[in-house]
Amino acid sequence: MSTLDPPLAEIHRRVLTWYASAGRDLPWREPGCTPWGVFVSEVMSQQTPVARVEPAWSAWMRRWPTPADLAADSPGEAVRMWDRLGYPRRALRLHAAATAMVERHGGQVPADEEALLALPGVGAYTAAAVATFAYGIRTTVVDTNIRRVHARLVTGDALPAATLTRAESSLATSLLPEDDAEAATWNVAAMELGALVCTARSPRCAACPVEDLCAWRRAGSPAYDGPARRGQAWADTDRQVRGRLMALLRESPDPVAASDLAAAWPADEAKRERCLASLIEDGLVEPVGDSSYRLPA
């Protein structure tokens, strides 16, 4: 880890001041947003751009404003409401987490990180993010954007490692302000800086409040020299086939005949059947009799 010069307090001051004026007005950041609203936003935002999350989050919160409201509905309705956000297993995890909140926590989102981690589908990042953003608890939050900001600002690397390392987590903890409320704001401010300014491609360094303090800029902005990073393909992949089948099932209030699913992807029967089997295994689809399918009841 590089030695910070000037002091960390100056970095905090500049980034927090920048965030106060440049941070996006998102509904889950509003003072009146409930911990459940924060929880839903964190699950939805995994691997999904904010522009797609915001309308889906608003619709979700109108329909299920509390964990108990969601738990009282079927998992299939959660999957249907998830629509095209992608990775629909997250909808099932949200439903399962809401059910656990009702059963274990009186219908409330727990504030304790260990209790959050014990909820279905909740990992270390989500538990920490909900604890700090919903309850103002001082804890270490490390997402892709934060990792990139820390890598450039402190260690001078163009991009962080492909997967989170212990050194990165330790660095993130060392950068936290001591005050609980300020630490919570620092986490979201660093995340926002990575999302809006310190982007993976074409970073807007001239707009960065700490450009002159950035180790990467001081080193001449060296190019990334790690393993090649490839984007995920979509066309003709299992993900595309699964998405096509799920779209048909979401759009129908009744079970869908196997022949209709076959027509949704006629080009490759073996791939279609494999994808359908994987959707059933994931709990996203249920067979009805011998020749129809539906979302989980």
Peptide bond into 6 cis (omega under 30): yes
Based on the number of CB atoms within 10 Å of its own CB, is 137 exposed (0-12), middle (13-18) or buried (19 or more)?
Answer: middle
Catalytic residue flag (residue 54): no
Which residue out of 42, 113, 192, 211 is catalytically annotated?
42
Tokens of residue 5, six digits: 């010069």
Q: According to DSSP H, which parts of the chain are helical? A: 8-22, 35-44, 50-63, 67-71, 75-82, 89-105, 113-117, 124-135, 144-150, 166-174, 180-196, 215-218, 238-251, 258-264, 269-281
* 214 close to 154: Cβ distance less than 8 angstroms: no
Tokens of residue 269, six digits: 């029967």
Active site residues: 42
